[in-house]
A = this chain, B = another copy of it.
Amino acid sequence: MASTAAFAATAALAGDPTRAAMLLALMDGRALTAGELASVAGVTPQTASGHLARLVEAGLLVVEAQGRHRYHRLASPLVARMVETLISIAGETQAPPVRVGPRDAALRHARTCYDHLAGRVAVGITERMVATGALVLGDDGGELTGSGQQLLLRIGIDVPAPGRGRRAFCRPCLDWSERRFHLAGVVGSALLDGLLALGWLRRTAGSRAVTVTPAGEQGVRGAFGFDPRASAGPETSLRRGA
């Protein structure tokens, strides 16, 4: 085998609770300082420092020094995808360990997932786009149709051409809270950026949660035919995913 050892080492890195907390904290795509990550993970700076060094050395994170701060972020979308997959599996298999709190409620409603939008709002928009033929989704592959492209262009979101590049253009991403799919890849990323630029969504400080502005409620309803407030509905309960 090429290397069971390398495989195990990589998984083990993500398998420590402290490092796991760090990886999850970086899932919104931002870069955080070593101190912030220490705080997020609930350990002292010197402990965090050791963990971060290992994550960087293994290529899961990249670090950029800026003055006396050292900013860490996920090394690549591939790493984000690994984290996503692990979240899916963990959610899939574990019984709900603790009661969900109000903070979780906000996250379930709308949040960033690395570089795209996740949560009920994201799932709702995605499913409406599929229903109206703006989007074709298999389970792991997808395509933005001509009408979809026009739909986005109409609200001022210009999606770059597919191209043969190495970056995923359009793909579904399993939503850990909804167990249904939302939109990721280049299209998903452009969508999030666009909605933020339009002022329809606003990031919240210190959290991956995203709030829908009043303008956003109206805009999303008009453009996608989906009411973001409707997403306060009952829990979905799809047990077995993909």
A3 near B90: Cβ-Cβ < 8 Å: yes
- The verdict on A140 contacting B140 (CB below 8 Å), with A89-B78, A242-B76 known, is yes
Does A81 reach chain B (CB closer than 8 Å)? yes
B12 near A92: Cβ-Cβ < 8 Å: no
- The verdict on A15 contacting B17 (CB below 8 Å), with A78-B85, A140-B185, A166-B242 known, is no
B98 near A138: Cβ-Cβ < 8 Å: no
**Residues on B with beta carbons closer than 8 Å to the beta carbon of A81:** 85, 242
**Residues on B with beta carbons closer than 8 Å to the beta carbon of A109:** none
Does A226 reach chain B (CB closer than 8 Å)? no
The proximity string for A residues 1-20 relative to B, scoring 1 for CB distances below 8 Å and 0 otherwise, is 11111111111111111011
Partner of A17, one of B4, B142, B177: B4
Does A223 reach chain B (CB closer than 8 Å)? no
Compute how far the CA of A55 lies from the CA of B177 in the bound complex, rounded to whole angstroms: 23
**In angstroms, how far is the closest chain B Cβ from the Cβ of A39?**
14
Compute how far the CA of A85 lies from the CA of B140 in the bound complex, rounded to whole angstroms: 14
Give the B-binding residues of A (Cβ under 8 A).
1-17, 19-21, 24, 58-60, 75-79, 81-83, 85-94, 97-98, 100, 104, 107, 138-143, 162, 165-172, 176-177, 184-185, 240-242
- Interchain Cβ contacts under 8 Å between A and B, 16 examples: A2-B91, A2-B100, A2-B104, A3-B91, A3-B98, A4-B20, A6-B91, A7-B86, A7-B87, A8-B19, A12-B15, A78-B242, A138-B142, A138-B162, A140-B171, A141-B185
